[in-house]
Amino acid sequence: MATAALPLHPIPHRKLPPASAGASLRQLCKEGDLREALRQLAGRSAPGRAPPTDNYGWVLDLVAARMAVSEGRQVHAHAVSTGALGDDDGGFLATKLLFMYGKCGRLPDARRLFDGMPSRTVFSWNALIGAYLSSGSAGDAVGVYRAMRASEPVAGAAPDGCTLASVLKACGAEGDGRCGSEVHGLAVKRGLDRSTLVANALVAMYAKCGLLDSALRVFEWMRDRRDVASWNSAISGCVQNGMFLEALDLFRRMQSAGFSMNSYTTVGVLQVCAELAQLNYGRELHAALLKCGIEFNIQCNALIVMYAKCSRVDSALRVFREIGDKDYISWNSMLSCYVQNGLYAEAIRFFGEMVKNGFEPDHACIVSLLSAVGHLGRLINGREVHANAVKQRLDSDLQVANTLMDMYIKCYSVECSARVFDRMRIKDHVSWTTIIACYAQSSRYSEAIEKFRAAQKERIKVDSMMMGSILEACSGLKSISLLKQVHSYAIRNGLLDLVLKNRIIDVYGECGEVCYALNIFEMLDKKDIVTWTSMINCFVDNGLFYEAVALFGKMLNAGIQPDSVALVGILGAIAGLSSLTKGKEVHGFLMRGKFPMEGAMVSSLVDMYSGCGSMNYALKVFDEAKCKDVILWTVLINATGMHGHGKQAVDIFTRMLETGVSPDHISFLALLYACSHSKLVEEGKYYLNTMVSKYRLQPWQEHYACVVDLLGRSGQTEEAYKFIKSMPVEPKSVVWCALLGACRIHKNHDLAVVATDKLLELEPDNPGNYVLVSNVFAEMGKWNNVKEVRTRMIERGLRKDPACSWIEIGNTVHTFTARDHSHRDSQAIHLKLAEITEKLRKKGGYVEDISFVLHDVSEEEKIDLLHRHSERLAISFGLISTASGTPLRIAKNLRVCGDCHEFTKLVSKLFEREIVVRDANRFHHFSGGSCSCGDFW
């Protein structure tokens, strides 16, 4: 190294005490008195005579330990000026200088010194390799080793055990198992593998490179040459590779072999206990540490982590409080413990204690704190932590920035999350996945797609998690073309694991593409319970209840045991089919399987029984439920409303409030619906006002529609129109649809025209709207308008759902459409229907009301059309298929017309049958010639 001779200044000269009176130079270095050691070294030099090289060695060792590079340069210059470095034939002093520069992180100085050495010993090479390794330049350390090997034939400096141990450590750091194997080969060739130092390094290298089998083979080969470090390397290797049980077995063998554990052993085994949640074993280790009186922070910190993973926060806190000298790791471990166990408020309070004790938040602390704040949804606190991160200049850290984005998402601040993303100079896969999920979960689906395309341009690796967010965007947009593109992309890039395939089935179902979902389902060789459940839910969501029940049967035949999610789905299908027999079978299955009757399960049971027309069973399930949440109360309120028991629904709502359960939007929607179908006008107005004034809930369009329906059905159509005009938000189609339905009932044709225009303007592609408008025009006798509306439907490729009714006989559901002749007992059904009609005419005074036939045909044809309505066919089949007095339960996909309603009342009286009919809006319980709806529906 070319440098000027620097005096060992600024150190004032003082007369040195005699050697017998003062401490020797070697003793000073041992005591760590660097200042006095430098003075003595300077005092021992004289013109033309340098101190002994071992004097320099002692001082340089102390300089290296203190990492005092400035003093090290002075010693280097002194050695040059006194000629000590020039006389260093064995290279001892140069090697010591190399070691010092390496420890101080001065790699350029070390390299210049090494390159200027006239001859190099193995110690010189080892010093340079060690310098690169300690500075984190493992690749350069391997490079120096290769240069050493290349110069070996000329210089004669052959690698020794220390060389190979250092290089193997570098190979492990680089994950270069191939280079490590080459070094292993050299060690075997030269007999250095018998060195415990080298063998231990081999075990550690192979483990870090993911070659655990090779690591354990070397460990087993060592046999009697193992020391504690050997066992630690093997245990650590197993832990690094997720082989926790094997690590535990090695620890037991280590104890049996008589080796005492040290701090590294303890940390490794505690990590195993944490990963395996072996609380008892961890406690035994804790007790052993207490017995030995060991109080090292590293072990206490590992104990905190172990207790945290085992959900024993109290024990972790006790260990933390017992640590005398707490460091950052101690505080952060305890903070992380609170966060991991969901004690977010406690984590924030603990952070306050940490700051009071003088610890400024570091990287790990900020990440934990942001996680806690995010889970609590405290946006203001989140911004405070963000500001602190900026103050500490930690906001540019990739992990901190990603956690900031996640925190803002949890606090529903999409814009803040997006700003953090935009300001990040470096973005990784997590960053892109987070921002895409942020937009997808916030219903900003188009922006999620845009970010996905931007991520592709940046060549960010797309994985199944990112694909899940994009599929959520496809579902939200209801874009079939985009969904097909994403599906094709996933196939091309080999991203379709079973989880993603299940999600794709879900999304095709959510977009109404049942055939595509079914094709994927049928092509899967391996189907798990989620696959079957996804397909069942697909059928249910698209109204294919019979197909859902049939698929459930196939699932059972395939040996797949349903879980709670699958059973909730099939209960929805059974409710749709109104199949009480199948509902009871599933309920029995739940009882035998001891499924917990809580949450979604009990709510689905109540909904199923009410959907099958059996309020008695529904109320029994509700009463037996131990925990009644807002969802369960809401389901019961909705059920009673559907069955026309409006006052009972109001009573249930009052009971819910008395139990301390707060209503949500859905609760009020169910209540308003019940009021609407029971003509409870004043109650409906009151609860809409209560919803806003007392509970601070902004009404949805559906809430307003219920009030419009309530006013309109009670004959106050003009009042309903005034209510619409007073709405604080622009009314949507659901509101105008409610008004149009009321205008149709009460013959307010002028207002019906207004509602018609609005409805078709807002939803030009909804076939149900065209049917309703067509029916209104038909009742008004405007057949040209009817023709025009139906022509528009045809031009848009829209078609109405055909009227359909079904009845369950035994364990089979029988379906009928209007004028249906497809049933195997069709002839008997039509004969029975004719018999029933004749009896109603003679004994019940029944006369067909042809005003309910909305077709421009003759009177005879209108009467014939009435006789062929699907619910009449279902009733006729029920009468010929069941014993006298058996209740009939019928479901229909559309509303019951007024003539069929009168027909069914008379059947219930003259044939002495209870008939329960569920139409598209509500339940009708017919008995003794009257209906539970009081002719108000």
pLDDT digits (tens, 9 = 90+) for 510-552: 999 999 999 999 999 899 999 999 999 999 999 899 999 999 9
For position 88, what pLDDT does the model report? 67
Q: Is the pLDDT of residue 8 over 60?
A: no
Q: Is the pLDDT of residue 853 over 80?
A: no
How sure is the predictor about 14, in pLDDT bands with cuts at 50, 70 and 90?
very low
Contacts of 281 (CB under 8 A, 6+ apart): 248, 273
For position 6, what pLDDT does the model report? 35
φ/ψ of 627, rounded to 5, equals: -115, 115
| Mean pLDDT, residues 693-722 taken together | 93
Q: Is the pLDDT of residue 46 over 70?
A: no
Helix (H, G, I), strand (E, B) or coil at 912: coil
For position 781, what pLDDT does the model report? 79
For position 803, what pLDDT does the model report? 86
HSE-CB of 297 using CA atoms within 13 angstroms? 11
DSSP β-ladder status, 915-918 and 923-927: antiparallel
Tell the residue number behind the tokens 């009939």, with chain if given. Answer: 888
DSSP character for 497?
Answer: -
Q: Is the pLDDT of residue 90 over 90?
A: no
On whether the CB atoms of residues 553 and 574 are closer than 8 A, the answer is no
How sure is the predictor about 106, in pLDDT bands with cuts at 50, 70 and 90?
confident
How sure is the predictor about 93, in pLDDT bands with cuts at 50, 70 and 90?
confident
DSSP code per residue over 667-734: HHHHHHHHHHTTT-HHHHHHHHHHHHHTT--PPPHHHHHHHHHHHHHTT-HHHHHHHHHT-SS---HH
DSSP β-ladder status, 915-918 and 888-892: parallel
358-395 tens-digit pLDDT: 888 888 999 999 999 999 999 999 999 999 899 888 88
On whether the CB atoms of residues 375 and 410 are closer than 8 A, the answer is yes
HSE-CB of 302 using CA atoms within 13 angstroms? 22
Q: How far apart are CA 790 and CA 799, in angstroms?
A: 9
List helix spans (H) across 763-844: 767-779, 783-795, 826-844
641-694 tens-digit pLDDT: 999 899 999 999 999 999 999 999 999 999 999 999 888 999 999 999 999 999
DSSP β-ladder status, 923-927 and 812-817: unpaired
DSSP β-ladder status, 812-817 and 804-809: antiparallel
How sure is the predictor about 10, in pLDDT bands with cuts at 50, 70 and 90?
very low
785-795 tens-digit pLDDT: 888 888 888 88
Q: How far apart are CA 106 and CA 149, in angstroms?
A: 24
Asked if omega into 10 is within 30° of 0 (cis), the reply is yes
HSE-CB of 26 using CA atoms within 13 angstroms? 4
Compare 69 and 406 and report the one with higher pLDDT.
Answer: 406
Distances in whole angstroms, Cα of residue 699 to Cα of each of 194, 653, 665, 704, 728: 80, 18, 7, 7, 10
Q: What ranges do the domains of the chain cover? A: 226-310, 326-417, 545-627, 805-931
For position 18, what pLDDT does the model report? 42
Nearest to 173 by CA among 222, 135, 212, 117: 135
Tell the residue number behind the tokens 């369009």, with chain if given. Answer: 701
Nearest to 823 by CA among 807, 810, 836, 835: 807
For position 21, what pLDDT does the model report? 29
| Long-range interactions of 730-737: CB distance < 8 A, separation 24+ | 731/701, 731/704, 731/758, 732/701, 732/762, 733/758, 733/759, 733/762, 733/763, 733/766, 733/769, 734/701, 734/702, 734/705, 735/701, 735/704, 735/705, 735/708, 736/762, 737/705, 737/769, 737/772
| Mean pLDDT, residues 723-741 taken together | 92
Tell the residue number behind the tokens 């019961």, with chain if given. Answer: 636
| Residues found in the chain | 937
Lowest mean pLDDT among 260-269, 480-489, 553-562: 260-269
Q: How far apart are CA 448 and CA 435, in angstroms?
A: 8
How sure is the predictor about 4, in pLDDT bands with cuts at 50, 70 and 90?
very low
For position 671, what pLDDT does the model report? 96
Distances in whole angstroms, Cα of residue 394 to Cα of each of 329, 375, 401, 410, 417: 17, 21, 8, 21, 16
HSE-CB of 604 using CA atoms within 13 angstroms? 23
Q: Across the chain, what does the average pLDDT equal?
A: 88
φ/ψ of 816, rounded to 5, equals: -135, 145
CA 800 to chain centre: 40
Nearest to 920 by CA among 882, 890, 893: 893
| Mean pLDDT, residues 810-826 taken together | 88
HSE-CB of 207 using CA atoms within 13 angstroms? 27
| Mean pLDDT, residues 726-741 taken together | 92
For the record, the structure tokens of 99 come out as 């070691």
Q: Is the pLDDT of residue 766 over 70?
A: yes
Q: Is the dihedral of CA 465, 467, 473, 476 positive or negative?
A: negative
For position 7, what pLDDT does the model report? 38
| Mean pLDDT, residues 738-749 taken together | 87
Helix (H, G, I), strand (E, B) or coil at 759: helix
Q: How far apart are CA 849 and CA 856, in angstroms?
A: 15
Exposure class string for 171-200: b at 16+ Cβ within 10 A, else e = bbbbebbebbbebbebbeeeebbebebbbb
| Mean pLDDT, residues 246-262 taken together | 86
DSSP code per residue over 662-680: PP-HHHHHHHHHHHHTTT-
Element (H, E) at 423: helix 414-423
306-322 tens-digit pLDDT: 999 999 999 999 999 98
Helix (H, G, I), strand (E, B) or coil at 609: helix
For the record, the structure tokens of 74 come out as 């002075």
For position 1, what pLDDT does the model report? 40
Q: Is the pLDDT of residue 865 over 60?
A: yes
Compare 155 and 328 and report the one with higher pLDDT.
Answer: 328
End-to-end CA, the chain: 101
How sure is the predictor about 294, in pLDDT bands with cuts at 50, 70 and 90?
low
On whether the CB atoms of residues 629 and 598 are closer than 8 A, the answer is no
φ/ψ of 915, rounded to 5, equals: -125, 125
Burial degree of 339 (CB within 10 A; 0-12, 13-18, 19+): buried
